[in-house]
Homo-oligomer: A and B are copies of this chain.
Amino acid sequence: VTIVHCPLPVIGIVRTQRTSPEHTPVQAALNRGEHGTLEIAEPYAAGLADLDGFDYVWLVTWLHDHPERPEPPPMTQVPFLLRPTPRRIGVFATRGPRRVNPIGLSLVRLLGVDGRIVRFAGVDMVDGTPVLDLKPYVPAFDRPPGEPRAGWFDDVRPAEGVTPADLG
């Protein structure tokens, strides 16, 4: 196993009203109405230029709030959404936080950029989550054609705003 030893500068910090992962919606798309902000660190503020022409952005986050995980985490896990009917799934077929690299990917709707502050809608991050990168959502690159299959996700109908705690 190759290890990349690299300090990762945090480009900014997410501010939300969520303080516990168990009580934070599992996906931004299931919680589109809730607002949050991203406070970009001063050295990187100029990198926000031209962002206001985009409706959606990807936040690449560091899921710092899962320090209890073993290293590496189990390669099969029961996803939050399958807690009611437990079944183990390969970690790379899940979107859960207990990953080899705890890197999160959140698609959020851009509400505005005011100086160093990015306002967005769609919250699946606890307050204080470090952000490693912000990328614009580009439909031509990020939207595959047709109606792609989504494996076990196609058999679950998660409720709006559902959190791990809701799922038992």
> Which A residues are within 8 Å of any B CB, using their own CB?
1-11, 13, 27-30, 41, 43-58, 60, 62, 64, 72, 75-76, 88-95, 99-101, 103, 105, 107, 109, 130, 132-144, 147-154
Cβ-defined contact, A9 with B100, below 8 A: yes
Cβ-defined contact, B90 with A9, below 8 A: no
Cβ-defined contact, A93 with B150, below 8 A: no
Cβ-defined contact, B44 with A100, below 8 A: yes
7 smallest A-B Cβ distances: which pairs? A53-B151, A49-B90, A55-B148, A46-B75, A50-B93, A47-B75, A47-B91
State the oligomeric state as a number of copies: 2
Cβ-defined contact, B6 with A10, below 8 A: no
Q: How far is the CA of A160 from the CA of B160 in the complex (A)?
A: 38
Q: A88: nearest residue on chain B (CB-CB)?
A: B49
Q: A122: nearest residue on chain B (CB-CB)?
A: B144
**A149 with B54: in contact, given A29-B141, A135-B95 (CB under 8 Å)?**
yes
